[in-house]
Amino acid sequence: MLDALVVANQTSEAELVEIVHADAGATRAAIERLTDLALVWESPGGLRALSAVADALRGDESAGVSGLRPMSPDPAPDIDARLAAISLRARALLDHVLVSGGEGTTGTARRTVSPADAATPVEELIARRLLVPRDGGVLVLPGEVGIALRGGHTTTTPRDEVPPLATTRREQSLVDRTAGGAAFDAVRRTELLLDHWGLQPPSMLRGGGLGVRDLKAAAAELQVTVPEAGLIIEVATAAGLLTSATDPEGNEVWLPTDSFDTWAAGSTAERWVALALAWLDTTRLPSLIGTRDPAGKSWNALAPDLSSTMAPDARSLALAQLVGLDEGSVLATGTGVPSIVERVAWLRPRRPSVHRDLVAAAVHEAGLLGLVGAGGLSQAGRAIVAHDHDAALVAITPHLPHPVDHVLLQADLTAVAPGPLETELARTLHLLADVESRGGATVYRFTNGSVRRAFDAGWSALEVHDFIGSVSRTPIPQPLTYLVDDVARTFGTIRVGQAESFLRADDESALTELMHHPKATSLGLRRIAPTVVISTMPIDVLLPRLRELGTAPVVEAPDGSVRVARRDLLRARRPRTSRTRGAAQARAQATVASVVTAIRSGDRAEASRPASPAIATTPSSALVALREAIEGGETVVIGYVDNHGASSDRVIEPLRLEGGQLSAHDHRSDDERLFAVHRITTVTPLASPRT
Amino acid sequence: MNDGPLIVQSDKTLLLEIDHPLASDARKAIAPFAELERSPEHIHTYRLTPLGLWNARAAGHDAEQVVDALLTFSRYAVPHALLVDIAETMGRYGRLRLEKHPTHGLVLSSTDRPVLEEVLRAKKIAGMLGNRVDDDTVLVHASERGNLKQALLKLGWPAEDFAGYVDGEAHPISLVEDGWAIRKYQQEAVESFWHGGSGVVVLPCGAGKTIVGAAAMAEAKATTLILVTNTVSARQWKDELIKRTSLTADEIGEYSGSVKEVRPVTIATYQVLTTRRKGVYTHLELLDARDWGLIVYDEVHLLPAPIFRMTANLQARRRIGLTATLVREDGREGEVFSLIGPKRYDAPWKDIEAQGWIAPADCVEVRVTLPEGQRIAYATAEPEERYRLASCTHAKIDVVRRLVEQHQGQPTLVIGQYIDQIDELAELLDAPVIKGETPVKERQRLFEAFRSGELSLLVVSKVANFSIDLPSAEVAIQVSGSFGSRQEEAQRLGRLLRPKAEGKTAHFYTVVSRDTVDADFAQNRQRFLAEQGYAYRIIDAADLDVAP
């Protein structure tokens, strides 16, 4: 409607009715509404859109309203004739321009041609003024041509028909039940994940957010897909159950908040309402986790920028469509979601295309969270959409499974809890058995390892039998009894303890005597076998004390051999004497010689330096000069910057140039040295011949 | 909340509470699409797999029926994602169709062009296809029909095969029901196989799979190739066919290592087909020797990999696979599906047992303690030696002797893995032995004697695991096995399950050394039996005399 006005620029109501592809009455009503909203005004020449409106509409290229261009100021009346006159190829091109946004580029086409000598379809169109060249080589399809191409309207499809929702019939009770199941799952998974993260928190990425690996691990832990895990994490955060904090070691991690404990203590219904309301209003975009941002980087869960004010809007719009459905009709499988996307796109045509994705995601997420079941909004979901906390509580409660207090034991060593277990019972079973399958019911499997885990936690075989007997509705299968007893039999066969030292004696009475010695109490002795006693004291302390007690112990080396305690005789090393006279003299001479060499080579460098300061040669010319010097066997002076940035002149005979390094004979050190080529600032051939 | 017997788990398992009044209705509703995974006493576990769902599609069920069955019987809400997944998975089946084109021969066509484009771009498939006929149709090399189906299954777009079967050379075969009648479930199995064209029938050991094969042949009335595991079972097939059908001994040929006859009905062993000389399968021509109208695969779960490849070329012929379990230790169930056909019929052991067609069994694990000296030897042995040491302990021999005494007069089989162990046992028990090196003639003589009751105790090695019909065996004692293979356990138990006179219970003993790998493997077997619904008792060797 507004589009049409912009296209027409200034027009009468009658003309608008004609070009808008819709029922006349609807168009008039729309004009009235727009006038009331002051987006359109009645100028003396007819209806006009506010110029700001036109700018706003045209400015957004991603809006998806294609090919709408203002009409030429004085539209020529013979568009149809001109359209009829063009060649097929030109017509195809024109259609393409229309579909792809009403703009094209001239390319090599000439701007001013007559229809007769147009060589290409583009030139033909320009010649007939069906495309108008603009600045910068852009070709524009004038509005009136667009209208003519669309059969006299601004859009090809009618605009006054509300896109229908694809629906099918399902009983409301089924919808409620399915939604209830999903709601229960969402609550259970949130609790499971946060419980887990309370013990092993995932670390926070430097840019905020949760690493992909942690997200995948969470998905595996919860037995859900990665996007679903992302949703659970985001909703938990939105509900204030999860936040970033610093752990005792000073790392930034994601941790459940203290309000998680409050939340976990609530009833399932209360917990669900809290999650659902948090989801409805959050600006976070869980559906984008794992997709790429414009820069091509993948979005992480909980990334700080992963939010948009469009999200709650898209959600409430999508759910509002579902509220509008009659009781008993739900979105059809497959076609339902696209139809709701179409409907919302019709209601809000100027939203960017990402809005459509958000609408689809909203319906999907609502299904996962239990607002929507089997494609229809549940009673509780309706209450949530209306932000009615209490009504939602009442509505969801009957659809949540009741906790059970027993399991069914089977001969294949599994225990099946035919429903959600009471929390305490679930924790205990979790210790005794491994979870094999989760869902409405839980399947536990008893294994050697799981039973041993219980023993490690301090259970006795009797307690295990009693517990299993008390929770089972069915007789305990014999193999399970055997399993527990087998583990109990081997449990603790080998014991591990700590001792600083041990004492052993083949003579048991010697040890007995020692144990009963009145002064031995301070030695921390404990007898672990008739011939072995351990002590909490290290050997070097124990040994003298034992001797004091009148025993004659022998020390064993770690490999069991007897260590003979002979005292080491202590000796020091002979100190180094000062150097001899001759050596000192030789050193002094060498120093003098090297100083002289350095001075001479400095002199030669000085001598060869041109009167004017050396012009810093370019790296390439330096290389050329060096190569020449190598070939000619010449001596050159180079300006060289050392590691510390100090510049000096060196007299050298270049030998080889390879790998960015120059090996050369350095006159100062009288040795072959390597120079980094990039540090050589100047190269000056030494005028005097080699000495 | 709905008070149904079924709980649908998010990991796609279905738990069926069998004490629930609606349990049997629920079972009937879910059996077509869910695979029974385990059936212990209270809760049976079924699993939804893409294969199972495609099987159901192939058998004419649609996603709506599956979803409806789940929703009707589920106690808790069914996860929405699971329902969507079911619809999606089932929707993948049949997007591609293998058809006979009147002018182009075998073609692959699709109603969904993007799917066709997707599979055409798959490298593995490229070589099997010819030119595009039009946008939705592409030529298929006739010889690649099986390979193509297999490859498409791997890509997740199983093709529906509409190309039909060749009738083969007609040959009159009919069942001769004198003194016996085909059982209801056998008839159902044959019918669902015939309607489906090709496929696998899963029935417990002893439930009369041979009869199903014979009935299928009577339905086809054409020359038939029967592939079996070994020569003894080939002879048994022959005897059974002569007894149950109008076929005479002259019409049935045996194609094995010793005899090479090609007759209207030919029974060949897997082994002879897979024999290679200089890298060439020398007996492959058998497959083309006649215009076979039906191919019967006995014990499909043992089908060797080369046979898979040969089968790929036999797609134009009707194929029936017979097996007690689709569990393959090599995990190639998918290939059975694509090359022989989907599962057409199955019935849980317990159901057939309840109908009285197979004998009930009492499974007992007898635990012996290794003598002190052997414990030390065991503890210090190399890991690969341990199992042998543990399972061949002398302590077991004494237990076996006592068990045999307890069941004096009842036909008893002693089954072992290690030849020297069974030789020793045979000597001690004074019983004949059947092992790999026993000539076929001798084997048959001994089996015959055992069947007729002349012989009440037989010591056998693992050669007796499969397809040897010893209907009279009432007691089996296994002393060692191949590392706890579930399939072996099923087969050995199967030896016992042929129905007994007066509805007697069969006894299945496993002698296990305590605290060794032997016991660990036994746990695998125990789990398998428990999952099949057999209560498993454990007793100590010391308590043996007290126990019934």
Question: DSSP string of A515-558?
Answer: HT-GGGGGG-EEEEETTEEEESS-HHHHHHHHHHTT----EEPT
Q: Tokens standing for A373?
A: 């079941």
For the segment B330-347, the average pLDDT, to the nearest whole number, is 74
**Contacting A residues, span 353-372, partner chain B, CB-CB under 8 Å:** 367-368
State whether residue A413 sits within 8 Å of chain B by CB.
yes
**What pLDDT is recorded for position A426?**
81
Beta-carbon count within 10 A of B276 CB: 11
Q: How many Cα neighbours within 13 Å face the side chain of B108?
A: 31
Per-residue DSSP letter, B435: -
Closest residue on chain B to A402 (Cα): B1
Using an 8 Å Cβ cutoff, are A667 and A604 in contact? Answer: yes
Using the Cα atoms of residue B8, residue B203, residue B155 and residue B29 in order, give the sign of their dihedral. Answer: negative
Residues 6+ apart with CB under 8 A from A327: A172
**What pLDDT is recorded for position A1?**
54
CB spacing of A438 vs B9 below 8 angstroms = yes
Which chain B residues contact residue A401 at CB under 8 A?
1, 76
State whether residue A335 sits within 8 Å of chain B by CB.
no
Percentage of chain A lying above the pLDDT 70 cut = 80
pLDDT reading at A687 higher than 70: no
pLDDT band of B331, cuts 50, 70, 90: low
> What's the burial of A84, exposed, middle or buried (CB within 10 Å: 0-12/13-18/19+)?
exposed
Instruction: For residue range B6-57, list pLDDT tens digits in order.
Output: 888 878 888 888 888 888 888 888 888 887 777 787 888 888 888 888 878 8
**What pLDDT is recorded for position A66?**
40
Per residue, the 3-state secondary structure of A69-92, as one string, reads CCCCCCCCCCHHHHHHHCCHHHHH
**What pLDDT is recorded for position A524?**
82
pLDDT reading at B349 higher than 60: yes
Number of Cβ pairs < 8 A linking chain A and chain B: 123
**What pLDDT is recorded for position A65?**
41
Closest residue on chain B to A483 (Cα): B523
> What's the burial of A91, exposed, middle or buried (CB within 10 Å: 0-12/13-18/19+)?
middle
pLDDT reading at A688 higher than 60: no
pLDDT reading at A297 higher than 60: yes
Beta-carbon count within 10 A of A450 CB: 20
Task: State which amino acid sits at residue B16.
Answer: L
Q: Which of B363, B400, B179, B328 is nearest to A479 (CA)?
A: B363
Per-residue DSSP letter, A116: G
Phi-psi region of A104 (alpha: psi -120 to 50; beta: other; left: phi over 0): beta
pLDDT reading at A351 higher than 80: no
A368, A399, A440: residue with CB nearest B7:
A440
The mean predicted confidence, pLDDT, of chain B is: 80
**Phi and psi of B367, rounded to 5°?**
-100, 125
State how far residue A478 is from chain B, nearest Cα, in angstroms: 6
Interface pTM, i.e. ipTM: 0.74
Which chain B residues contact residue A408 at CB under 8 A?
17, 42-43
CB spacing of B87 vs A333 below 8 angstroms = yes
State whether residue A407 sits within 8 Å of chain B by CB.
no
pLDDT reading at A126 higher than 70: yes
Enter the CATH code of domain B359-543: 3.40.50.300
Instruction: For residue range B161-189, list pLDDT tens digits in order.
Output: 777 777 788 888 888 887 788 888 888 88
Question: Which residues on adjacent β-strands are paired with residue B281?
Answer: B276
Q: Tokens standing for B374?
A: 């052997």
**What pLDDT is recorded for position A395?**
85
pLDDT band of A343, cuts 50, 70, 90: confident
**What pLDDT is recorded for position B149?**
80
Range with the largest mean pLDDT of A6-10, B185-189, B520-524 = B185-189
Long-range contacts of A641-650 (CB under 8 A, 24+ apart): A641/A679, A641/A681, A642/A679, A647/A681, A649/A602, A649/A605, A649/A606, A649/A609, A650/A601, A650/A605, A650/A675
Which chain B residues contact residue A378 at CB under 8 A?
none
pLDDT band of A97, cuts 50, 70, 90: confident
Instruction: For residue range A47-58, list pLDDT tens digits in order.
Output: 666 666 665 555
Which chain A residues contact residue B536 at CB under 8 A?
411, 478-479
Per residue, the 3-state secondary structure of B237-301, as one string, reads HHHHHHHHECCCHHHEEEECCCCECCCCEEEEEHHHHCCEECCEECCCHHHHHCCCCEEEEECHH
Residues 6+ apart with CB under 8 A from B318: B165, B168, B197, B198, B220, B293, B294, B295
State how far residue A183 is from chain B, nearest Cα, in angstroms: 10
The mean predicted confidence, pLDDT, of chain A is: 78
Closest residue on chain B to A413 (Cα): B527
Which chain A residues contact residue B74 at CB under 8 A?
440
CB spacing of A181 vs B45 below 8 angstroms = no
Q: Which of A443, A186, A473 is nearest to B46 (CA)?
A: A443
Q: Mapping DSSP to helix (H, G, I), strand (E, B) and coil, where does residue B104 land?
A: coil
Task: State which amino acid sits at residue A478.
Answer: Q
State how far residue A36 is from chain B, nearest Cα, in angstroms: 46
State how far residue A369 is from chain B, nearest Cα, in angstroms: 10
Residue with the bigger pLDDT between A69 and B415: it is B415
Instruction: For residue range B133-145, list pLDDT tens digits in order.
Output: 887 888 888 777 7
pLDDT reading at B548 higher than 50: no
With tokens 């909340």, the residue in question is B1
pLDDT reading at A228 higher than 50: yes
Percentage of chain B lying above the pLDDT 70 cut = 91
Q: Which of A173-177, A391-395, B249-253 has the lowest mean pLDDT?
A: A173-177
State how far residue B39 is from chain A, nearest Cα, in angstroms: 9
Using an 8 Å Cβ cutoff, are B155 and B338 in contact? Answer: no
Task: State which amino acid sits at residue B228.
Answer: V
Percentage of chain B lying above the pLDDT 90 cut = 0
Q: Which of B155, B451, B212 is nearest to B352 (CA)?
A: B212
Residues 6+ apart with CB under 8 A from A89: A121
Q: How many Cα neighbours within 13 Å face the side chain of A401?
A: 30
**What pLDDT is recorded for position A106?**
63
**Contacting A residues, span 535-574, partner chain B, CB-CB under 8 Å:** none
Residue with the bigger pLDDT between A496 and A65: it is A496
Per-residue DSSP letter, A288: G
Q: Tokens standing for B295?
A: 């191919």
CB spacing of B1 vs A399 below 8 angstroms = yes
Q: Which of A306, A131, A116 is nearest to A205 (CA)?
A: A306
Task: State which amino acid sits at residue A540.
Answer: D
pLDDT band of A578, cuts 50, 70, 90: low
CATH 3.40.50.300 domain residues, chain B? 184-347, 359-543
Strands laid side by side in the B34-38 sheet: B6-8, B13-17, B43-48, B34-38
For the segment B344-373, the average pLDDT, to the nearest whole number, is 79
d(CA A554, CA A547): 10
Residues 6+ apart with CB under 8 A from B156: B50, B92
Which chain A residues contact residue B80 at CB under 8 A?
178, 182, 367-368, 373-374
Which chain B residues contact residue A437 at CB under 8 A?
9, 11, 13
pLDDT reading at A174 higher than 50: yes
**What pLDDT is recorded for position A64?**
38
Instruction: For residue range A651-669, list pLDDT tens digits in order.
Output: 888 888 888 888 888 887 7
Enter the CATH code of domain B184-347: 3.40.50.300
B41, B74, B81: residue with CB nearest A411:
B41
CB spacing of A439 vs B7 below 8 angstroms = yes
State whether residue A438 sits within 8 Å of chain B by CB.
yes
Which chain B residues contact residue A373 at CB under 8 A?
77, 80
Residue with the bigger pLDDT between A14 and B441: it is B441
CB spacing of B43 vs A410 below 8 angstroms = yes
For the segment B429-434, the average pLDDT, to the nearest whole number, is 84
**What pLDDT is recorded for position B488?**
72
For the segment B198-218, the average pLDDT, to the nearest whole number, is 84
A333, A409, A416: residue with CB nearest B15:
A416
Residues 6+ apart with CB under 8 A from A139: A97, A103, A104, A105, A106, A122, A125, A126, A131, A132, A133
Mutant choice from B11, B15, B486, B524 vs A, greatest count of A C-beta within 10 A: B15
**What pLDDT is recorded for position B195?**
78
Residues 6+ apart with CB under 8 A from B350: B39, B532, B533
- Give the H/E segment covering residue B195: helix B184-196
Alpha helices in A162-256 (DSSP H): 172-199, 212-222, 226-238
**Contacting A residues, span 148-177, partner chain B, CB-CB under 8 Å:** 174, 177
Q: Mapping DSSP to helix (H, G, I), strand (E, B) and coil, where does residue B337 land?
A: helix
State whether residue A490 sits within 8 Å of chain B by CB.
yes
d(CA A105, CA B276): 70
Which chain A residues contact residue B535 at CB under 8 A?
411, 477-478
State whether residue A437 sits within 8 Å of chain B by CB.
yes
Mutant choice from B39, B42, B527 vs A, greatest count of A C-beta within 10 A: B42
Which chain A residues contact residue B538 at CB under 8 A?
478-479, 482
pLDDT band of A113, cuts 50, 70, 90: low
> What's the burial of A529, exposed, middle or buried (CB within 10 Å: 0-12/13-18/19+)?
exposed
Name every residue in B having a CB less than 8 A away from some CB of A.
1-2, 7-11, 13, 15, 17, 38, 40-43, 45, 71, 74-81, 83-84, 87, 515, 526-527, 530-531, 534-538
**What pLDDT is recorded for position B193?**
84
A178, A398, A479: residue with CB nearest B526:
A479
**Contacting A residues, span 225-244, partner chain B, CB-CB under 8 Å:** 225, 228
Does the pTM surpass 0.90? The reply is no
Q: Which of A385, A420, A437, A426 is nearest to A267 (CA)?
A: A420
Q: Which of B225, B237, B215 is nearest to B289 (CA)?
A: B225
Question: Which residues on adjacent β-strands are paired with residue B15?
Answer: B7, B45
Mutant choice from B9, B82, B520 vs A, greatest count of A C-beta within 10 A: B9
Using an 8 Å Cβ cutoff, are B393 and B421 in contact? Answer: no
Length of chain B equals: 548
CB spacing of A412 vs B40 below 8 angstroms = yes
A334, A412, A439: residue with CB nearest B10:
A439
**What pLDDT is recorded for position B62?**
84
Beta-carbon count within 10 A of B258 CB: 8
CB spacing of A490 vs B515 below 8 angstroms = yes
For the segment A8-34, the average pLDDT, to the nearest whole number, is 68
Whole-Å CA distances, A428 to A80, A433, A459, B419: 83, 9, 11, 48
Which chain B residues contact residue A409 at CB under 8 A?
42
CB spacing of B77 vs A440 below 8 angstroms = yes
pLDDT reading at B311 higher than 50: yes
pLDDT reading at A615 higher than 60: no
State how far residue A333 is from chain B, nearest Cα, in angstroms: 8
Using an 8 Å Cβ cutoff, are A178 and B80 in contact? Answer: yes
B2, B7, B80: residue with CB nearest A441:
B7
